[in-house]
Amino acid sequence: MGKRQRITLRQDQRLAGSEGLDRRLFLKRGLVLGSVAALGPSFKVHAEPDREAFPTWMREPGRTFSNYGQPSPHEKHAIRWISANPLAEGNGVSWTPLHDLAGMITPNSLHFERHHNGVPAIDPQQHRLQIDGLVRKPLIFSLQALLRYPRVSRLCFIECGGNSNAGWRPRPIQSRIGYFHGLVSCSEWTGVPLSLLLQEAGIDARAGWLIAEGADAAGISVSLPLAKALDDVIVALYQNGERIRPENGYPMRLVVPGWEGIVNVKWLRRLKLVSEPLMSRYETAKYTDLLPNGKARQFSFQMEAKSLITYPSPGFDLPEHGLYEIRGIAWSGAGRISRVDVSVDGGESWTAAELQGPVLPACLTRFRLPWRWRGQQAILLSRAVDESGYVQPTRQSLIEARGEHGYYHYNAMVSWQVSVKGWVSHVYV
């Protein structure tokens, strides 16, 4: 499993108050108390239109009820961006538009997708989950049977091991952050604890791993250590309160909190207990990291701490000088985010951001910090620290540890440059 990288913070880095950054800025200036006038030139207050002229929606009855709600027609831009293989459309991804979202939960319609061979049209009546291999009593469950079992919820992110991999490219890509880092989404998954099902089957003492297989035509099979399977893994049936969406594994999927996407097998049909891992394509050719010494990192399941500033970010240029709330997300497969530091001077000095509660293990955690932009060129960075003490690496230290030719597991700090004109672009520092 991945070797942890630690960065020791110099005392001056820890204490420095970066130029224009101040956690109390909004409070001090009275914004929280509602006195916008006290802000002076920070915000332009626009003249109100004539309030006597009622708009049509105040004069006519509104539309009637709907069986299943849809977003406002004015929010049509908030979509998953699809990058599918033109020769095999079922293989590819669609990205969560992180730049359009707030809060910790990803709406089901915007959960990212990664399929190797499309979304299978499974008939839930015919679908079965089989547990066999090194067990005392092989079992087969119908969906109806599983729906009667005791349930738990896991609030957690699912992140593809290939998320953010454009960061490995020699030149910084310019795109909306969702279409660069949006192979991560966070949901409340509800289902049956896997430990319960395995105990019912009776675990043979020789079992150390299990092989999980999906019912899609890709025939995805991956190995999972039994210790994790017995810890917090669930066979999920619900996603944010409703039944799992077809693209996210309907009618059932594995949810493996904090571990890379590929082991969260969708359309789950079989769990086979074995003594040794399978060495399938997805744990040898894929999702492994060739290191500079010629050896490969394998079974690096746990997603390491990561953060990025969602606002400002490329696509959100700053229209005028004044107060801005720097906002972002941080997450770690190792547990809770304990701190996120923000820099506006390319990493010279750092200020701790405010974390939005509740801060939950393996969940997206929002951070924010007010910043006064006075028109100077700035480089914005965020750095996450998790409860294990792990510190998100700089791009340089990640490349030193892993070499220049990485493809998976990119979690380095991300930097945005704000030009004197307020244009925001992706840069490497």
Q: Which residues bind ligand MTE (CB under 6 A)?
A: 111-116, 158, 160, 214, 216, 218, 220, 248-249, 261-262, 264-267
Cα-trace Rg, the chain = 24
Find residue 416's DSSP bridge partners: 380, 426
By a kind-dependent CB cut-off of 5 to 8 A, residue 424 interacts, out of Mo ion, ligand MTE, none, with none
Helix count and strand count (H, E) for the chain: 8, 24
d(CA 302, CA 261) in angstroms, rounded, equals 10
Q: Which of 14-22, 39-47, 108-116, 418-426 is the region at the interface with Mo ion (rule: CB under 5 A)?
A: 108-116
Report d(CA 184, CA 106) in Å as an integer: 9
Task: Tell me whether strands 234-239 and 242-243 are parallel, antiparallel or unpaired.
Answer: antiparallel
State how far the Cα of 24 lies from the Cα of 37, in Å rounded to an integer: 18
| Residue 220 contact among Mo ion, ligand MTE, none, beta carbon within 5 to 8 Å by kind | ligand MTE
Q: How far is the CB of 246 from ligand MTE (least distance, A)?
A: 10
392-427 in b/e form (b: 16+ CB < 10 A) is: bbbbebbbebbeeebebbbbbbbbbbbeeebebebe
Using the minimum distance from each CB to ligand MTE, give the nearer residue, 114 or 272. Answer: 114
Decide: is 160 part of the binding site for Mo ion (CB under 5 A). Answer: yes
Supply the minimum distance, in Å, between the C-beta of residue 88 and ligand MTE: 12
Residue closer to ligand MTE, measured from CB, 164 or 248: 248
For 372, other C-beta atoms within 10 Å of its C-beta total 16
Residue for token pair 């669609």: 94
Report how far residue 166's alpha carbon sits from residue 306's, in angstroms, rounded to the nearest whole number: 15
Asked if 214 is part of the footprint of Mo ion (rule: CB under 5 A), the reply reads no
Binding mask of the shown chain, residues 401 to 420, with x at each position contacting Mo ion by CB under 5 A? --------------------
197 binds Mo ion (CB under 5 A): no
State the nearest-atom distance from the C-beta of 293 to ligand MTE, in Å.
Answer: 27
Kindly list the distances between the CA atom of residue 400 and the CA atoms of 167, 404, 412, in Å, as whole numbers in the listed order.
14, 8, 12
% helix, strand, coil for the chain, step of 5: 15, 30, 50
The Cα 139–Cα 200 span in angstroms is: 8
> What residue number has its CB nearest to Mo ion?
160
Q: Is 261 in the site for Mo ion (CB under 5 A)?
A: yes
Q: Which of 99, 111, 114, 336 binds Mo ion (CB under 5 A)?
A: 114
Nearest distance from residue 343's CB to ligand MTE, in Å? 30
Query: Measured from the CB atom, is 249 or 370 closer to ligand MTE?
Result: 249
Contact 23, 351 (CB under 8 A): yes
Asked if 333 interacts with Mo ion (CB under 5 A), we say: no
| DSSP state, residue 92 | E
Q: How far is the CB of 36 from ligand MTE (least distance, A)?
A: 41
DSSP SS3 for 144: helix
Residue carrying the six token digits 């892993």: 402
Dihedral sign for Cα atoms in the order 174, 176, 179, 182: positive
Per DSSP (E only), the strands in 64-118 are 81-85, 88-95, 113-115
Q: How far is the CB of 248 from Mo ion (least distance, A)?
A: 13
How far apart are CB 216 and ligand MTE at their closest, in Å? 5
Selection from Mo ion, ligand MTE, none that 313 binds (CB < 5 to 8 A by kind) is: none
214 binds, among ligand MTE, Mo ion, none (CB under 5 to 8 A by kind): ligand MTE
Give 299 or 428: the residue with its C-beta nearer to ligand MTE: 299
Contact 194, 245 (CB under 8 A): no
Nearest approach, Cβ of 261 to Mo ion (angstroms)? 4
- In whole angstroms, the minimum distance from the beta carbon of 159 to Mo ion comes to 8
Least separation in angstroms between residue 365's CB and ligand MTE is 19
Separation CA 230–CA 208 (nearest Å): 11
Answer yes or no whether residue 263 interacts with Mo ion by CB under 5 A.
no
Which CB sits closer to ligand MTE, 116 or 272? 116
Q: Choose the binding region for Mo ion from 8-16, 158-166, 270-278, 339-347 (rule: CB under 5 A).
A: 158-166
Question: By C-beta, is 263 or 399 nearer to ligand MTE?
Answer: 263
Q: Which is nearer to ligand MTE, 20 or 261 (CB)?
A: 261
Which residues bind to Mo ion, rule: CB under 5 A?
114, 160, 261-262
